Amino acid sequence: MDNILVIGGGSWGTAFADYLARLGKKVKLWVREKEVIDAILKQRENSVFLPGIPLAAELEPVTDLEAEVGRAKTLILAVPSKFIRAVMQRVKDARPDKQTLINLSKGFESDSLKTMSEVAVEVFGPGIAACWSTLSGPSFARELAGQHPTALVAASVNDALLKKIQNGFSSAILRIYRTDDLKGLEVAGSLKNVMAIAAGMINGLGYGYNTTAALVARANMEISRLGLRLGARAETFWGLGGIGDLMLTCFGSLSRNFQLGRKIALGESLAVAEKSTPMVAEGVETTKAVNHLAQTLAIDMPISQGVYQVLFAGQDARKIIRELMQRSLKSEWNIN
């Protein structure tokens, strides 16, 4: 697990690349934005996406994507989900056979409704499954970069690959668990961003922890409901990649999805809220995909569909919360 190229110079890609460089790995970071490249080279800081965090001297920013892909043994994908297909298509011909791919992106492709691993199979072919892993869990980029102890889950159909990632990337700062429930980890990581938008709306409306805790519990039931229908295992949603990530993003104000939801509840339009930061709130695109999935599969997903109504149908967040509270009464454990 060395000679690594991290594709994507956003906050999480930068933080993870910096962590690996400090771990003694040979790491390059492909960055699209010239101003980010200049800042890293001159100031050893990603002043656009991760300001105030000094980066390891060994971390090398690069611009020639195809050439660097051809040289790397491991690719780490850290681009927003709505751009990941284009990046995969761009590197497809440059990628050596059996090169390991580790995905950090969370989301569904809003048009195709595919997860990131499903997009990879479509672009690279079915053989990619043995080389593919998704890494997810409760992790703010700024906190990992600040050396806060963090735990994640790696998912793949290839257990030998998972053990290599665990042994190669774990340290006193980062602990990695493994699972073969790739579908569950992808669904959990994607939908938690939708729920973070809802949590931000709750905060923006002035509601407190009672409301947010209720959201987290019912959101996890809703996420599990979709995941089970898509073939995931129930226990995944009660682990680090499920309830762990959900709690972090719903209670933690560092979440960009939380902040977007909060701004909308305070009266900003979606367009204005999205333009207020250079970082992409993954939950916006995922909300579209989940709304479509819920309708197509006839799954009851009231929170996700409520977020959709606020973001894309001009509904008032306070009104949506009131309607959720007044839905028909039922048994708590209604996972099916």
Amino acid at 283: G
pLDDT tens profile 126-141: 999 999 999 999 999 9
* Mean pLDDT value of segment 250-270: 95
| pLDDT tens, residue by residue, 172-193 | 999 999 999 999 999 999 999 9
How many angstroms separate the first and last alpha carbons of the chain?
41
Which pLDDT score, from 0 to 100, does residue 1 have? 80
Superfamily in which the 189-325 domain is placed by CATH? N-(1-d-carboxylethyl)-l-norvaline Dehydrogenase; domain 2 (1.10.1040.10)
The model's pLDDT over 44-95, given as tens digits with 9 standing for 90+, comes to 999 999 999 999 999 999 999 999 999 999 999 999 999 999 999 999 999 9
Residues in a beta bridge with 30:
7, 62
pLDDT at 251: 96
Pairing type for strands 132-136 and 27-30 reads unpaired
Instruction: Give CATH for domain 4-180.
Output: 3.40.50.720
Domain boundaries, the chain: 4-180, 189-325
- Max CA distance (Å), the chain: 60
pLDDT at 336 (0 to 100): 67
Whether 192 is a known active-site residue: answer yes
pTM of the predicted protein model: 0.95
Q: Which of 192, 263, 275, 330 is catalytic?
A: 192
pLDDT at res. 278: 83
